[in-house]
Amino acid sequence: MILLVQWLLVVAGAPLLVGFIRKTKARLQGRCGANLWQPYRDLRKLFIKEVVISETTSWIFRFTPYVVIGAMLVAALIVPVLTTAGGALSLGNIVLLMYLFLLATFFLALAGLDAGSSFGGMGSSREMAVAALAEPTVMIAIFAISLRAGTTGLSDMINVLAGDRLLLLNPGHLLAFFSLFIVTLAETGRLPVDNPSTHLELTMIHEAMILEYSGRYLALIEWASAIKLFLFFTLLGNIFIPWGIGRTEQPAAVLLGLVALVVKLAALGVSLAVLETSVAKLRLFRVPALLTGSFMLALLAVISFFFLR
């Protein structure tokens, strides 16, 4: 029951998070900005619009949006959002989560190549490069966290970490947080890695792959991107600041978990908006330097665990 509520929260709340970030960015830039609920309107518009499919594509193009949303929906089932008891299916640990995201990226890259245009190919190639270079950081950060928590199962990890009162004073913990934050930027296609609102094809990474999509396929993919951002933020919030999330299935605990989640997501959203407003997009071949930097942070986190007992 709680699982269903949590899952629906993720699925329905993801566009709201995107709307909140956009609104904050707009305010920071001195604009009024679109409505907070605009992403929902966009999705509804896309669902009823006609689908235009390129003649050069194959069934992979039509199959990909389903795989992408499927992977995200399954990922939403395994991340503990409101509570760690009964709040998530124990389908797998955090490594499975990362591989589910990689599955979605794999199919999106194939769909980008399918249309036979230069933009799609370019987006696919860049996206796979960024994803591949972000993988070592993710795994080393997971290593660092699992060293502290003694497990890689998501709910257990949060429970163990919440027991350490001085967690935030741990340098390894903070370093892992920063490295995973940079990885979030890379994986969800936000500045400074990729500009989600650009319309210049040569500067696109994620957008170029999905250039050919329209109608309900595009709606599914946009929704999946929003869910991915929501899940990454939930992970960052719940693993690195593990207080507030419910430990039991009591309604009071779940409600507290909801309030804590809203606070964490809002904080992360505001920091993302501030970051996006203050930095420019990196040249594509400077992105590996950024990802190497985040890898060094994660490696330092691991070293800090091994050498600072």
Partner 1 sequence: MANRISLWLTVPLAVLVLVGGAAGLSGWSFDVVLPHVLPIGGGVALGLDRLSAFFLVIIAAGVLPCAVFAFAYTRHQKPERDGMTAALAAGMSLFIVSMACLVLARNVLTFLVFWEAMSLASYFLIMTENDRSETRRAGWLYAVMTHAGLACILLGFLTMAQSSGSLSMTAWAQAAAAIDPSKRNVAFVLVAAGFLSKAGAIPFHIWLPRAHPAAPSHISAVMSAVMIKLGVYGLVRIGFEWLGVGPRWWGVLILLIGAVSAVAGVLYAIIDSDLKRLLAYSTVENVGVILLGIGAGLIFHSYDLDSLAALSVAAALLHCLNHTIFKALLFLGAGAIVHATGTRNIEEMGGLLRRMPQTGALFLIGSLAISAMPPLNGFVSEWLTFQALLLSFRVPEQFVNLVFAIAIAALALTAGLAAACFVRAFGITFLAMPRSECVKQAHEVPWTMRLSMGVLAVLAAVLGIAPVVALRPLGYVTAQLLGEQPDLAFSLSGVVAGGSFAAIAPGWVGLTLAVVIFAVWLGFRLTGGSLRKRYYDTWGCGRAVHSPNLEYTAAAFANPFKRVFAFLYRPVTAIEIWPHGESRLFVKTIKYRHESRSIIEEGIYAPLAAAIRRTSARIRAVQSGNVHSYLLYMFLVLVVLLLVAK
Partner 2 sequence: MPFGKLANLLSFLFLLMSFLLIVRNSLSGQVRMFAIQSGILAALAGVVALFGGRLELFGVAAVFAIIKVAVIPSVLNRTVAKIGMQRAVAPYLGTSSTLAVCAVLVIIAFTAMAPITGSDPLPTADGIPLAFAGVLIGLFTTVNRRRALTQILGFLMLENSIFMIALLATYGVPLIVEIGVFLDVLVAVLILEVFVYRIKQNFDSIDVKQLGVLRG
Window 162-201: residues binding partner 2 (CB under 8 A): 166, 169-171, 174-175
User: What is the C-alpha separation between 98 and 143, in angstroms, rounded?
Assistant: 13
Footprint (CB under 8 A) of partner 2, residues 215-254: none
User: Counting contacts by CB under 8 A, is residue 303 touching partner 2?
Assistant: yes
Q: Do residues 158 and 84 lie in contact, with contact meaning Cβ atoms separated by under 8 Å?
A: yes
Q: Which is nearer to partner 1, 33 or 215 (CB)?
A: 215
Q: Do residues 114 and 120 lie in contact, with contact meaning Cβ atoms separated by under 8 Å?
A: yes
Chosen residue from 47, 262, 278, 283 binding partner 1 by CB under 8 A: 47
CA distances from 101 to 137, 210, 229 (A): 15, 16, 11
Residue for token pair 């890695």: 193
CA distances from 291 to 136, 173, 197 (A): 9, 18, 22
Q: Which stretch binds partner 2 (CB under 8 A): 103-111, 137-145, 261-269, 281-289?
A: 281-289
User: Counting contacts by CB under 8 A, is residue 150 touching partner 1?
Assistant: yes
Q: Which stretch binds partner 2 (CB under 8 A): 5-13, 53-61, 213-221, 283-291?
A: 283-291
User: Counting contacts by CB under 8 A, is residue 304 touching partner 2?
Assistant: yes
CB of 59 to partner 1, least distance (A): 8
Chosen residue from 125, 170, 198, 277 binding partner 1 by CB under 8 A: 125
Cβ contacts of residue 2 below 8 Å, gap of 6+? Answer: 82, 83, 86, 87, 249, 254
Total residues found in the chain within this entry? 309
Chosen residue from 83, 105, 184, 294 binding partner 1 by CB under 8 A: 105
For residue 71, give both structure tokens.
Answer: 């992977």
Q: Which residues bind partner 2 (CB under 8 A)?
A: 166, 169-171, 174-175, 286, 288-289, 292-293, 295-297, 299-300, 303-304, 307-309
